[in-house]
Structure 1
Amino acid sequence: MSATTISYLNSLLDYYTPSSTYFDKARRHRASIETRLDNRLGVSEMFETGSLRHGTGVWFYSDVDYIASLKGARPTPTTALSNVRDALKDRFPNTTIRVSRPAVVCEFASGDETVEVVPAFAAPSGGFWIPNPADTAEWMKSHPKDHNSWVNKSNEKHSGAAKKLARLAKTWKYRRNVPVSSCYLEMRAAKYAGEQSSWILPMDLFYFLRNLKNVGLAAMNDPTGLGSRFTACSSTSNRDDALSKLDTAVSRAQKAYDAYMDGDDATAIAQWKLVFSQ
């Protein structure tokens, strides 16, 4: 039996959904990381965040992400990142450890067990200050726990459409090497899915990509009303690159949509395969 457009997209989702145990090896490093940071810098709390925590991780590409809320006075973002990097380099001398704002990336097992640690400082009014990816001199306000709850709430509509859409958008990002924030894509996807009165995956995936193009990957207000705006890219050059690749994706998605509406699943699938570099 020939594949349908919907079955193809669902198979793509199944393929890139990590198993419940896939990242267990990376998570094993948490205790030693937290202990080292606590001994060197002081840790108020450390918790998992990001796409794996939200249920939007992409197999093979997503890392394990932690927020490390540090004690003491808040220095510059660059100093905080350097302090975390240097503390972990001393503890894990045979591991590649580097700064990739807003996190310190630890490439355990030659990158097969990658962990990202975001230095943070608790804000008196709630949430955390984390390094701003788009401005090396600034902190940005983040409420990761509230954002997780908001995504979960949006995901209640249409049988989990928000997280499916976020995972497909991130799959496109990774497969096409698009320099756009995964968090931005996730929040945009959750906002889009939560606003729809109906849902058909091949149609809404196209509409969502087109919406990203129409807004020009503009910064997005925090939908919880608590934190800083979500920016799509860390630099102007990255934004230009991302918009160019988005334009190509939307053009192919338009052809996939038109073919789907005409009942031509073979052509629709061929176009989606181009979108996802398959």
Structure 2
Amino acid sequence: MADYVKESNGYSIYEIADGNNGWMQICPDAHNAYVNAVDKKHGGKVKPLIRFIKAWKFYRDVPIKSFYLEMRVAKYADGESCIIYDIDVKNILAMLLENNLSSLQDPMGFSGYIYPCKTEAFKQDAISKLSTAVSRAVKARNATIDGNVKEAFDFWNLLYNNKFPDYYL
């Protein structure tokens, strides 16, 4: 449930439970505008990149908040000159692991810090799953570099819990 708080810069601000016994302000329209702007900058490749990361989260039951992933991926992509899915999926997963799923300052300035998980136990579970994911994404990328597309597909399939399309000659 969200409560309307105020208008700011033409956007409606709401307050919701933050999952840590407190409240946080959100601004869905501003966050959507941010994602849309970064997506447009990259010719429509950012929203699919977000979906790739969220698909991993879903298929592997990773307890990272979707909003956190969406904002992290958009912020990552905003700093990139181009998006190449197999490279960027690997890089995002590695970044999340290297940063130890650190909280994220809201790029739009409305929500304060955006936390990755509801509890520390969930965070530790997510980090464990990220470690496995990074290993598989690195192996997939290396197989692609080596010209072994079938092996790359096999590693992507492992990453996505057997939900990635099979490789057919």
Counterpart check, 1:265 vs 2:149: yes
- After TM superposition, the structure 1 = structure 2 runs for residues 73-152 of structure 1, keeping only pairs within 5 Å, are 118-123=1-6, 127-133=13-19, 135-136=20-21, 138-152=22-36
Count the aligned residue pairs: 159
What corresponds to 1:228 in structure 2?
112
The one-letter code of the counterpart of 2:54 is K
Of 153, 161, 166, which aligns to 2:45?
A: 161
CA contact (8 A) 1:142 1:228 kept: no
Taking only aligned residues, the RMSD between alpha carbons, in angstroms, comes to 1.3
Q: For 1:254-276, what per-residue CA distance to the aligned partner results, in whole angstroms no more than 9, with x for missing partners?
A: 10011111111111110000000
Q: TM-score, normalised by structure 2?
A: 0.89
Q: Runs of 4 or more off by more than 3 Å in structure 1?
A: 123-126
**Aligned-partner Cα distance in 1 for 2:6–2:126:** 32
Q: TM-score, normalised by structure 1?
A: 0.55
Q: How far does residue 124 in structure 1 lie from its aligned partner after superposition?
A: 6.5
CA contact (8 A) 1:259 1:265 kept: yes
Sequence identity percentage: 38
Q: For 1:61-91, what per-residue CA distance to the aligned partner results, in whole angstroms no more than 9, with x for missing partners?
A: xxxxxxxxxxxxxxxxxxxxxxxxxxxxxxx
**Aligned-partner Cα distance in 1 for 2:139–2:127:** 18
Structure 2: 5+ residue runs without aligned partners?
163-169
SS in structure 1 at match of 2:115 = coil
Using CA pairs under 8 Å that are at least 6 residues apart, name the structure with larger relative contact order, 1 or 2: 2
Larger Rg: 1
CA contact (8 A) 2:102 2:115 kept: yes
**Aligned-partner Cα distance in 2 for 1:158–1:123:** 32
**Aligned-partner Cα distance in 1 for 2:95–2:148:** 24
CA contact (8 A) 1:163 1:189 kept: no
CA contact (8 A) 1:123 1:129 kept: no
The one-letter code of the counterpart of 1:276 is Y
CA contact (8 A) 2:2 2:14 kept: no
What corresponds to 2:123 in structure 1?
239
SS in structure 2 at match of 1:122 = strand
